[in-house]
Structure 1
Amino acid sequence: MSSHIVIQPVTTKAQLKSFVELAYRLNADDPHWVPPLKSEVYALLSPKKNPFFEHATVQLFLAEQGGEIVGRISAHIDHLALEQPVEQGFGPGTGSWGLLEAENGEATGALIEAAEAWLKEQGMHRIIAPISLSVWDEPGLLTTGHDHSPTVMMGHHKPEYRGWIESSGYESAKKLITYDLPILEDFPPLIERIVKSGERSSKLKLRKVDKSHFDRDAKIIMDILNDAWSDNWGFVPMTDHEIDHVGVKLKPIVYEELIMIAELEGKPVAFMMSLPDLNDRTKKMKGSLLPFNWIKLLWWLKFPTSPTMRVPLMGVVKELQNSRMASQMAFMMIEYIRREAVAKYGATRGELGWVLDDNQGMIAIADAIESKINRVYTLYEKAI
């Protein structure tokens, strides 16, 4: 008979260290898990370093069994998410949990119960999970695609978690899809014709971002993003502090040729961001930049090569969505970045996503360039 599981709220530095370290122990035997840099994990969990805490209430929990830490979970309420329309996923009374790691189903169930109880005490009556921590970080549980490693800024979870979570009464609310795209070969002739047609337009111009004007272009991109995604399921607006924080984090892996802004009659109306797969370099670092991994990372950041490029974000202003112009701009940006990724960065494949499972426009674009689904993340919901 197994020993009793004790759930403890994280209140000390020692407990926080146990919370962080647990993931590295439980996933050590998974060849496809990419250990995040521990400094990044501590920053994510720090109210002083993560602006998410400015509009969120967070509680971390540990599960202990037989004197050993066997699980962890975060429970949190994003107060900006509470202000969103219910039909868009969140809304009043909706909290979340995330950062789940556990040795077994018993620990998972106990942790989820603790998170539910805490959220209920805070006045919540519904849960969307897992989310770690913000919806802009790592939303969803990996439910398809465990046979390969995730790309930069994507999560990876044990396949057992699905059954353990669903046995706690959770049902699928939304699926987030990523697409694998071979990029060495030209796109189908139809796409090439669409791109060439756009190039002949005197009103339409595509340009690379300019790192010498990084703040300006970052604001342009975030303004388009907040407009383009504002009606999407799960959308929560970023604060100005969060936008600045993201800019600081992404700047070292921003390369001008890999991020495009589309302008229509001189007005920015669309963008596409692609990032070289940093995970390809950090996977062997086991979460630490010491003793010499920081030198290797700095060298790679200066002269990056990567077989994989990830497209985490793209958007078109709402007034142009569902128009022929929107898809034309998307194909043009994808093609321009594809050429640069292959020629200058040694890329052989791209990854698009995530994409909401009901985003018919993006799904049609993914299908047109002959990409294939390679990973699915599931967001669950439950009334409490």
Structure 2
Amino acid sequence: MKKVLPVETKQQLKAFIDFPHALYKDDPHYVPELYIAQKDLLTPGKHPFHEHSVLQLYLAYQGNKIVGRVAAILNNNHNAFNNTQDGFFGFFDCVDDGEVAAMLFSEVQQWLYAKGAKTVIGPVNFSTNETCGLLVEGFDSSPMAMMPYNYKYYIQLLEKMGLQKKVDLLAYQFLAQNYNDKPYRLSKVIRKRLEQKDIIIRPINLKNYKQEAASLREIYNSAWDKNLGFVPMTPKEFDYLAKDLKLVVDPDFCLIAEHKGKMIGFSLAIPDINQVLKKIRKGRLLPTGIFKLLLLRKKINAVRIIALGVVEGYRKMGIEAVFYGTAMQKYREKNMKMAEASWILENNVMMNQGLLNMDAKPYKRYRIYEKAL
């Protein structure tokens, strides 16, 4: 007997968070999310998302066994900013059973329709500011930090229910053995040219992190505002993210561009913490996970470039090239084996061509789907 129930209790929430661990227990590429982080993300009063928007979690059962999960998400800030009536689905995981998937999505669509949504989009875990996209190419390795992962059969599950491609997101790979110092040599020339225009590139100042983060939020919300599906982060949302990132950020990998003291762009890369999380059972830091986290962090040999943006009026001046060239040199100095730049919209011609020019290879592809309600 198959059924779908809304998540209403703490015990059900725990089961919702833990379900992927059982589903992927034999998959060597699976990386568990930190339990405490997922719990806070999904609990009203803990994460700032819940101050302006709502969601409903669902669990699918076959008998007493959980066989699927999904979240129906109504992001009011997204709809207000984009003047749309979109609904989202996220946190989707399911056994290879079309009936179970259809039952889960039936609940999502009914809930969103009742809230006035005209379209369902996903997978998106709140917005494009968080984890989003379904992996459709590149199943032969683990995801990098803050990137999703799923079984290949998910593609068929979604498309059989009438969900269609909205847009693809690309992840590019830089391998150490293919290192080319041309971008770095070029970036040094461009940096001198920029300095003549009073534009400097510097690392983030962690001693003044709170003020730096406030300026970064302004840049983020203005530099990315034309991206598909973008929604500005509220001050509380950005502070929440910045607080988490401070635990892993390396100033050498967080670069800021300033013009006469005013911040005009930044790039951010973070160590691939997933290399450690893979070894933390069920995402629990206690009792022993915290020691693994501390001991293994020094062995991380890859980074993910998660954000790079310059405000309008300062683009195509070479600032982006200096960000990439400088960061690549730092990867080399720190003996990193691999760097990933992700994600890039497939229709962002300038960014995609720039990465290809630096010998980066597109090695993973993620897809966001949509369906009219």
TM range (shorter): over 0.9
- Which string of whole-angstrom CA distances, capped at 9 and with x for unpartnered residues, describes residues 182-209 of structure 1? 2455536376235323224422311000
Q: Which amino acid in the other structure matches residue 28 of structure 1? A: K
The residue identity in structure 1 corresponding to 2:216 is I
Question: 2:76 — aligned with what?
Answer: 79
Q: Tell me how far apart the structure 2 counterparts of residues 185 and 106 of structure 1 sit (CA, whole Å).
A: 46
1:35 to 32, 37, 46: 32
Contact 2:272 2:304 in 1 (8 A): yes
State the 1:25 CA deviation.
0.4
Q: How does 1:40-119 map to 2 (within 5 A)?
A: 40-85=37-82, 91-103=83-95, 104-119=97-112
- How many residues end up aligned between the 2 structures? 369
Structure 2 equivalent of residue 297 of structure 1: 293
The one-letter code matched in structure 2 to 1:350 is A
Match of 2:162 in 1: 169
- State the one-letter code of the partner of 2:229: G
Structure 2 partner of 1:211: 206
Q: Is the 8 A contact 1:183 1:338 kept in 2?
A: no
Shift of 1:129: 1.1
Tell me, in whole angstroms, the C-alpha distance in 2 between the residues paired with 1:140 and 1:370. 24
- Does the CA-based 8 Å contact 2:225-2:232 persist in structure 1? yes
- Residue by residue over 1:353-378, the C-alpha shift from the partner in whole angstroms, topping out at 9 and shown as x without a partner, is 10111111111211111101111110
Mapped partners of 1:378, 1:371: distance in 2:
20
Asked if residue 250 in structure 1 is aligned to residue 245 in structure 2, the reply is yes
Task: Tell me how large the CA RMSD over aligned residues is.
Answer: 1.6
Checking the alignment, whether the CA contact within 8 Å between 1:52 and 1:134 is kept in structure 2 is no
Aligned to 1:234: 229
CA deviation profile, 1:269-288 (whole Å, cap 9, x unmatched): 11100101000111011212
Q: Which amino acid aligns with 1:38?
A: Y
User: Hey, what does 1:88 align to over in structure 2?
Assistant: none
Check 1:69–1:381 CA distance in 2 against 1; reply closer, same or farther (3 A cut). same
- Quote the Cα distance in structure 1 between the aligned partners of 2:333 and 2:158: 44
Amino acid corresponding to residue 76 of structure 2 in structure 1:
H
> 1:196 is matched with which residue?
189
Residue 268, structure 1, aligned to residue 263, structure 2: yes
Aligned position for 2:175: 182
Partner AA of 1:353 in structure 2: S
Aligned residue for 1:284, secondary structure, equals coil
- Contact residue 176 and residue 357 of structure 1 kept, 8 A: yes
- Determine the C-alpha separation between the residues in 1 that align with 2:89 and 2:33: 19
Instruction: Output the CA distance in 2 between the equivalents of 1:112 and 1:374.
Output: 30
On the 8 A contact 1:184/1:342 being kept in 2, the answer is no
Partners of 1:9 and 1:319 in 2: CA distance: 48
Post-superposition Cα deviations, 1:73-128, rounded to whole Å, max 9, x if no partner, equal 1001000011133xxxxx42210111111112221111011100111111111111
The alpha carbon displacement at 1:40 in A equals 1.4
Q: Are 2:187 and 2:325, in contact at CA under 8 Å, matched by a contact in 1?
A: no
Could you tell me which amino acid in structure 1 is paired with residue 213 of structure 2?
A: A
**What is the aligned-residue identity percentage?**
31
Which structure 2 segments of 5+ residues have no match?
A: none
Counterparts of 1:332-343 in structure 2, within 5 Å, are 332-343=322-333
**Are the equivalent residues in 1 in contact too, given 2:183–2:321 (CA < 8 A)?**
no
The CA deviation at 1:20 is: 1.4
In structure 2, what is the Cα distance between the partners aligned to 1:17 and 1:225? 33
TM-score (norm 2): 0.95
Q: Distance in 1 between matches of 2:269 and 2:356?
A: 19
1:17 maps to which residue?
A: 14
Paired with 1:170 and 1:339, the residues of 2 have a C-alpha distance of 42
Return the alpha-carbon distance in structure 1 between the equivalents of residues 186 and 307 of structure 2. Answer: 24
SS at match of 1:131: coil
Pick aligned residue for 2:340 from 324, 328, 351: 351
Residue 266 of structure 1: how far off its partner (Å): 3.2
Q: Distance in 1 between matches of 2:94 and 2:87?
A: 21
Q: 1:160 aligns with which of 153, 165, 180?
A: 153
- Partner Cα distance (2:336, 2:184) in 1: 20
Aligned residue number for residue 378 of structure 1? 367
**Structure 2 residue 306 is matched with structure 1 residue 318:** no
CA shift digits 1:296-341 (9 cap, x unpaired): 323455xx342211001110002223x2x0xx21121112122222
Tell me how far 1:243 sits from its aligned partner: 1.1
Describe the SS at the equivalent of 1:172.
strand
In 2, the alpha carbon distance for the partners of 1:82 and 1:250 equals 27
Amino acid of the structure 2 residue aligned with 1:375: K
